[in-house]
Amino acid sequence: MLFSQVYTFSPIRVHRQEILPHFIERQHRDSEVEHILEHRSNIFHRGGKMVVHRLLYTQKDTQKGGLPMRPPLWHPPVEPSTAEKAVMNRVRRAKLFVFLRQYRHELCSDAFQQELATLYKDSPQGQPPVPPAQLALATILQAYSGVSDDEVIEATIMDRRWQLVLDCLDGETPPFSKGTLVAFRQRLIDMQMDRRLVERTLEIAAASEAFGPRQLRAALDSSPLWGAGRVEDTYNLMGHALRKALGVLARQQGRGLPELAREAGAPLVGGSSIKACLDLNWDEPGAHTQALSMILDALTKIEHWLDTHPDLVAADPRVTESIAVAHQVRMQDVTTTADGMATLRQGVAQERRISVEDAQMRYGRKSRSLLVDGYKRHILRDLESGLVVAVGITPANAPEAHVTDAIEQDLAAQQATLKELHIDRAYLASSLVEKRSEELAIFCKAWPVRSGPYFPKNAFELNWQNKQVRCPGGVSMPFELGGVVTFPKETCAGCSLRDRCTQSVSGRHIKIHPDEALLQELRERQQTPQGRAKLRERVAVEHGLSHIGRWQGRRARYCGVRKNVCDLRRCAVVHNLHVLQRLQVMALQEAA
């Protein structure tokens, strides 16, 4: 049976060697009955005294095969101490630290902590884990401050604002290690629990009646997110991959990379720069072809050398992975001429790899003028409360509409439905629009109808009841969604309006969009002042993207889609906490 006891000691600075004898004196003499689990993460300063959380496990637990390593619930004091109040009064700009200190017990409720505890398995070995609620708060603060994992550990002992939130004020040792923080973040990703961080902020908002179980009026938009991996051309991509493969083996054997590259017959990849080792005059016409031939020759020689050393390859899978990257770049970027000479392919492959370190980064564009090397981040923001309810990350070359599957999964997990969806035209082909219910209203600026010397498409009247289209000359033809209507050439040839309609000898053609009814509705709506006012409501999601971009930055922190989704979600948590803080200030002002 697990239970907790609290002991207080003074003075403030007490070392672990001084604390442990106190535990032993207060414990039963029979060590088989009860065991003490002591960890530095369970030592905190509170109100000028050292408080030690002691977790005791009885003989009943040990008979089950060891000590359970499930993390304990974290119950820091609710009311701030005198020292904490002093720190809170000194905070001027970073008010989120104060807000988290005041409401961490609500954010990290017992029920939510029990959910976080499922990230860990019972184990008879090891030390008791750090309370996951404490690590969750540190993860949020990391996104808020924009610091690295190493800087997080420094902040827990150097920054009193961090200590205020994490309940380790004036602590001389970090409450957790860098490895513990990284492992916790990976557990969040593996178990999809990073989504629960966002949902937890929505639950708190629902408790304050700022957000509740209702149909949402939401807006969806995206912004560019440049990748963390280095973008390289074909020569550097292949050279980087080969150098990485040999570098792994060189470190295994304690040898230098140039020495191992010479042994493999490819001294070209032994230097720090592949182009410096090539040492070519790139202005000469045949320099590019010569460089490509030399790099491909190095790839062949390294592969042959690895075939003669299978034990080295089997020792580390990164060698095979790096060689596979070199082959991937060759397949997508290199082609062979009629005379058998290797040359660079004209154009860009659809899923071209642009980075060795990040396999999911892609070339893309946000607009005609804005090119992106990496990803696009998407957020769905509630227009009434201002809270971000769902997020997503897609490679930069993927159409915006592809993210809606992830958005729908987040909404399904929250059991939320949409009443209004404000989007731009890039999302019109999404599943949210194509498979929408009758209750969902779409607000979007419609594609413009091309105007020219002939009758535009909107001059043709669509009868949705009879599924017929009527031309300005009064001729009707049946139509199908997604099809093309062709008026008879004989009818068009004898029509008095032919000069204003078409010059085609085969008759006038009208293409019907698969969702033509929606496009027609959008065009009619934006002709009215009320409809244009509705379209302007989407600006709120652009403000939300700007706020989140401030914390996440223009460049991704991690490699790969999934890790960056986790980073985007915790930035959405920071945004939502700011919204809750603002709502709290407004409520206090109204009460006053």
Phi (first) and psi of residue 139, to 5 degrees: -65, -40
Distance from C-alpha of 167 to C-alpha of 159, rounded to nearest angstrom = 12
Phi (first) and psi of residue 189, to 5 degrees: -70, -45
Does a structural domain hold residue 220?
A: yes
Output DSSP code: residue 555. Answer: B
Structural domain including 502 reads 457-525
Distance from C-alpha of 435 to C-alpha of 426, rounded to nearest angstrom = 16
Nearest residue to 471 via CA among 522, 514, 510, 520? 510
pLDDT at 33 over 80: no
Q: What is the pLDDT of residue 293?
A: 93
pLDDT at 138 over 80: yes
259 and 159 co-located in one domain: no
Q: What is the pLDDT of residue 319?
A: 93
pLDDT at 30 over 60: no
Distance from C-alpha of 285 to C-alpha of 236, rounded to nearest angstrom = 19
Of 311, 344, 377, which residue constitutes the final position of a domain?
A: 344
Structure confidence at residue 3 as a pLDDT band (50, 70, 90): very low
CA 432 to each of CA 216, 436, 520, 547: distance values in angstroms, whole numbers, following the listed order: 14, 6, 18, 25
Mean residue pLDDT across the chain? 85
Task: Kindly report the pTM of this predicted structure.
Answer: 0.83
Token pair listed for 34: 């009860």
Does a structural domain hold residue 355?
A: no
48 and 147 co-located in one domain: yes
163 and 107 co-located in one domain: yes
Token pair listed for 8: 């207080």
Phi (first) and psi of residue 263, to 5 degrees: -65, -35
Nearest residue to 115 via CA among 144, 97, 136? 136
**Three-class SS of residue 454?**
coil
Token pair listed for 6: 């609290």
Of 344, 377, 407, which residue constitutes the final position of a domain?
A: 344
Does a structural domain hold residue 199?
A: no
Element (H, E) at 53: strand 49-57
511 and 550 co-located in one domain: no
Element (H, E) at 582: helix 561-591
**Three-class SS of residue 350?**
coil
408 and 490 co-located in one domain: no
Summarize the confidence of residues 10-26 as an average pLDDT. 39
Q: What is the pLDDT of residue 326?
A: 95
Q: pLDDT of 359-404, one tens digit each? A: 999 999 888 888 999 999 999 999 999 999 999 999 999 999 999 9
Of 525, 552, 582, which residue constitutes the final position of a domain?
A: 525
Task: Scan for tokens 């808020």, then name that residue.
Answer: 144
Omega of the bond leading into 77 within 30 degrees of 0 (cis): no
Does a structural domain hold residue 519?
A: yes
7-21, 166-180, 367-381, 499-513: lowest mean pLDDT where? 7-21
Longest dimension (CA), the chain: 110
Output DSSP code: residue 199. Answer: H
| Residue 43 bridge partners (DSSP) | 52
Percent of the chain with pLDDT over 70: 86
Summarize the confidence of residues 51-72 as an average pLDDT. 48
Does a structural domain hold residue 576?
A: no
Does a structural domain hold residue 512?
A: yes
70 and 134 co-located in one domain: yes
Does a structural domain hold residue 163?
A: yes
Higher pLDDT: 43 or 497? It is 497
Q: What is the pLDDT of residue 259?
A: 93
48 and 106 co-located in one domain: yes
Element (H, E) at 364: strand 362-365
pLDDT at 4 over 80: no
19-33, 90-104, 455-469: lowest mean pLDDT where? 19-33
Structure confidence at residue 588 as a pLDDT band (50, 70, 90): confident
Q: What is the pLDDT of residue 480?
A: 92
Q: What is the pLDDT of residue 348?
A: 86
Higher pLDDT: 95 or 126? It is 95
Q: pLDDT of 474-485, one tens digit each? A: 999 999 998 999
Percent of the chain with pLDDT over 90: 65
15 and 146 co-located in one domain: yes
Does a structural domain hold residue 545?
A: yes
Q: Please name the amino acid found at residue 23.
A: F
471 and 397 co-located in one domain: no
47 and 78 co-located in one domain: yes
Structure confidence at residue 128 as a pLDDT band (50, 70, 90): low
20 and 128 co-located in one domain: yes
Task: Scan for tokens 């002002």, then name that residue.
Answer: 589
Q: What is the pLDDT of residue 410?
A: 94
Q: Please name the amino acid found at residue 83.
A: A
pLDDT at 8 over 60: no
Q: pLDDT of 514-546, one tens digit each? A: 888 899 899 989 899 999 999 999 999 999 999
Phi (first) and psi of residue 218, to 5 degrees: -130, 160
262 and 396 co-located in one domain: no
pLDDT at 335 over 50: yes
Q: Report how many domains make up the chain.
A: 4
pLDDT at 169 over 90: yes
Task: Scan for tokens 């227009």, then name that residue.
Answer: 383
Q: pLDDT of 412-467, one tens digit each? A: 999 999 999 999 999 998 999 989 988 999 999 988 888 788 999 889 999 998 89
pLDDT at 127 over 70: no
Q: For the domain that residue 397 is a member of, what is the CATH number? A: 3.30.420
